[in-house]
Structure 1
C-alpha cells in the first residue's frame, strides 16, 4: 500500500487531540461542500437562463442566412436557386426582404423593420407559433403580422376597417425632393395577427408578403435582401456554407444562428465567466481554512512526524501525507457538494420550487460540462491549498 496515502486516510478519519483543529477541519469540509454545491447550482441556473434567452431569438433566426456582402440587396438567378436546392442537407429555404419603414395609425407613428416573406418562411422559422391573437398572414395580400410592442405603441387592433394602417418607405434615387408625397412609396396594410415573444423582438418586425415588400422598395422579382435556410440536424454546416459560397461566387456573407446573435452570445459568455470567477473567489477564500487546518494538523502531529523521520521516512513522503489529506478532503467534499447541488437542481426541475411568474418556473438546466467545471475547479484549488500547506513540513521542522 502507498504509505503516505495510508497515513493520510488515518489522519482524515481520526480526530485530533485539539478541539480547535477538529472544528477548523469540519469548517473547511463544510465550506468545500457548500462551495461546490453553490457553484454547480449557479452554473446550472445560468445554463437554463442562457437557453431561455436564446430561445427567443431562435424563433426568428434560421440555421443559416445568406446576406449581401455589400449594399442592402442582391439578385439571385434561377440557376443559383436550383443549385441551392440540390445541396444535400438543406431542408427548406425562404427568400426575405428586410428594410426600415415608417408605420402610421390614427396619427401615431412607429419606425420598425418591414420583413417581406415568401410561402416557405414558416418551414424555416417558428414565428407562426408565437401568434397569440389573430392568425398568420396570407401570401400575395396586404395582410401583415405585427409585434405586440408595436400594437401597444400604436394602440392598434386587428381587422380595423375604419382606420388605415399605413406604411411609408423612402423611394430609391438621388436628387432634390420637391414634394413630400413623391419621396415615399406607401401602402395600406391589414393587420391580421399579433405575435408576442419579448419586449425587444415585439417592437422590431412587421411581417408582410414578399411581393408587396418588393413593390414598396421597387425591387426586381429576383431581388432580395436575404435567404434564410433550414438544414438537417446531422448536416455538415461548414460543408453547406462552402457550397453556398461557390454558388454565389463569394459575393455574399453566410452566417449561422450563433453569428446572427454574436453580441448576445458574447454578453452571455461574459456574464457566465464573471459569475464563475466570483464564486471561484468565494471557494478560494474557503480553502484558506483548509490550508490553515492542514498547517495546524502538521503542528499537532509534530512528534509523530519526528518519529517517522527518525526511522527513515523521507521528508517528501511526509509532505505527501498532508498533501494527500487535503486532496482527499477536497475530493470528498467536492463530490458531496455536487451531489447535493444535483439534488436541488432536479427538485427545481420536477417540483418547480422557485417561480418567475405564476406559470413560469425559474429556468435551470443540467449540463455535463458543469460537473467537469465544478470538480476541476475544486480539485485544482484544493491541490494548490494543500500543496502550500504541506510545504511547511521541512527538514528543519523535523529536526527541532
Structure 2
C-alpha cells in the first residue's frame, strides 16, 4: 500500500489527543458537507425554475420557426408546400399570419396582435394544452384570447350578440384623403371568443388567435401569404440538419430560428442568473474551505513529533507533504460526497412530496440533474486540492528536523 495514503487514512480516522484539534476537524468537515449540499440544492432549484419558465415557451413556440428574411410577410407557393410535406425531418408544420390590431368591446379597448393559424397549429405547438377555460374553437369568426387581454376587455365567451371587434388599417399606398376617410380606412372583424389561454403575462396580453383564412381575408392578403411557418420535428432528427433541409426549400425568403433563438433574451437571463448563483456560492465555499487549510496546519503541528520520527526513519519531506495533502483532499472529497448525497435526498423528497410550496397548490420547482452532481463534486474537489496543497506546503526540513 502507498505509504503516504496509509498514513493519511490513519490520521483521517484517528482522534487527536488535543480536544481543540478534534473540534476544528469536525467543524471543518461539517462546513464542507453543508456547503456542498447547499450548492447542489441551489443549482437544482435554479434548474427547476429554468424548466418551469421554459415550459411556457415550449407550449407556445415550435421546434423551428421560419420567419420572413425581410419585411413582415412572405409567400408559400404550392411547390413549397409539397416540398415541405416531403421532408422526413418534419413531422408537422403549420402556417400563420399575424398583425397588430385594435381590439374593442363596448367601451373598452386594447392593442393586441391577431394570429391566424391553420388546423395543424395544435400539432406544432402545445398552446391548446394551456387553455385556462373554454375550448379551442379556432374557426371562422371565432377564436381564443389570452387571459390578460380577456381581463382588460371583459368579453364574455360565446357572446354572439355583441362579439369582440378587431380593427386593422386597410393596406394601400399614398396619403389619406377625404374620400378614403369617408369609406373607412380600416377593416373590422367580429370575433366570438370560445376559450381563454394562460401562458405568461406578456403573451397573455398579446394575442387573439383565430383561423388563418379569416385573418388573410381580414388583412386583404391572398391564401399564399403568411408571416411564419411553425415546424414540429420528427423524432431522431437533428435540429441543424432539419434547419438546413427547410432552408433549402424556402430559399432566401425565410430565416429559420430555433425555440432558443426565438427566446434569446429569456435563455440568456436564465443562464446568467444560474452562473451568477454558482459563482456566489463558490465564493462562499472558497471562504469556508480556508477552514481546511487551518485544520491541516493544526494537524501538522499536532503530529510534529510523529513527522520528525518518520523523517528520521528515512521518509522524505516530499512524502510527508503528500501525506497531509491526501488527508486534506480525502476530507474535502468525502465531505463533498456526503453533502451531495444529502442534497440529492432533499431534492428527491421535494420532487416526490412537494413539501416546500410557492402557493397552496404549486410546489417550488426543482430539477434533479446529474450535471449538477458532477459540477458540485468537481468544484469541491478542486477547492479541496488547492486548500490541501497550500496547507501541506508548510512542511519543510526545518519543521521535521530533530534539533
In 1, the alpha carbon distance for the partners of 2:125 and 2:191 equals 23
Note if contact 2:354-2:364 (Cα within 8 Å) is conserved in structure 1: yes
Counterpart contact for 2:138–2:144, Cα < 8 Å: no
Aligned partner of 2:107 in structure 1 is: 107
3-state DSSP of counterpart to 1:319:
helix
Report Cα offsets for 1:241-291 as digits up to 9, x if no partner: 111111122331101111111111111101111111111111111101111
Deviations 1:291-334 (A, max 9, x none): 10001111111121122222221111111011100010011101
Structure 1 residues 272 and 138: alpha-carbon distance in aligned structure 2, compared to 1, 3 A threshold? closer
Cα drift, residue 218 of structure 1: 1.9
Conserved? CA contact 2:115–2:207, under 8 Å: yes
CA deviations over 1:338-377 (Å, ceiling 9, x no partner):
1111111111112211111122111111111011001001
Which of the residues 275, 281, 289 maps onto 1:287? 289
For 2:163 and 2:345, the matched residues in 1 are separated by 57
- Compare 356-365 and 68-77 and name the one that shifted more: 356-365
1:36 is aligned to 2:36: yes
Sort the Cα spacing of 1:146 and 1:193 in 2 relative to 1 into closer, same or farther, 3 A: same
User: What secondary structure is seen at the aligned counterpart in 1 of 2:17?
Assistant: coil
Q: Please give the TM-score of this superposition, normalised by the length of structure 2.
A: 0.96
1:138: Cα distance to partner?
4.0
Aligned mate of 2:344, from 302, 319, 342: 342
2:247 corresponds to 1:245: yes
Structure 2: any 5+ residue segments left out of the alignment?
Answer: none
1:49-128 superposed matches below 5 A: 49-128=49-128
Match of 1:311 among 310, 313, 316: 313
Partner of 1:156: 155
- The answer for unaligned runs of 5 or more in structure 1 is none
- TM-score w.r.t. length of structure 1: 0.96
Q: Is contact 2:65–2:228 with CA below 8 Å preserved after alignment?
A: yes
The C-alpha deviation readout for 1:94-149, integer Å capped at 9, x for no partner, is: 0001221111111211111211001111111111122232221243x110200111
The CA distance in 1 between the partners of 2:130 and 2:298, in whole Å, is 62
- Residue 376 of structure 2 is matched in structure 1 by 374
SS at match of 2:298: helix
**Which of the residues 356, 360, 367 maps onto 1:358?**
360
In structure 2, the partner of 1:5 is 5
- Quote the residue 1:135 is aligned against: 135
Residue aligning to 1:393 = 395
Determine if the alignment matches structure 1 residue 173 to structure 2 residue 172. Answer: yes
Q: Deviations over 1:3-61 (max 9, x none)?
A: 11011011111111222211111111000000111111111111111111101111110
Q: Give the alignment of 1:16-35 within 5 angstroms.
A: 16-35=16-35
Shift of the 196–180 alpha-carbon distance from structure 1 to 2, 3 Å rule, reads farther
Contact 1:171 1:217 in 2 (8 A): yes
Q: Deviations over 1:372-399 (max 9, x none)?
A: 0010010000111111111111223223
> Where does residue 228 of structure 2 map in the other structure?
226
Change in 2 beyond 3 A, CA 1:181/1:345: farther
Q: CA deviation at 1:180?
A: 7.9
d(CA) in 2 for partners of 1:304, 1:138: 83
Contact 1:106 1:164 (C-alpha < 8 Å) held by counterparts: no
Q: CA deviation at 1:72?
A: 0.5
Contact 2:21 2:299 survives alignment (8 Å) = yes
How many angstroms apart in 2 are the aligned matches of 1:276 and 1:54? 20
After TM superposition, give the deviation of residue 90 of structure 1 in Å.
1.0
Aligned-CA RMSD value: 1.4
Tell me the equivalent position of 1:270.
272
Q: Secondary structure at the match of 2:98?
A: strand
Q: CA deviation at 1:176?
A: 2.0
Aligned pair 1:257/2:259, yes or no? yes
Identify the range of structure 1 (359-368 vs 378-387) with the bigger mean alpha-carbon deviation.
359-368
Moved more, 300-309 or 262-271: 300-309
Single out whichever of 369-378 and 339-348 deviates more from structure 2: 339-348
The aligned length equals 399
Aligned to 1:46: 46
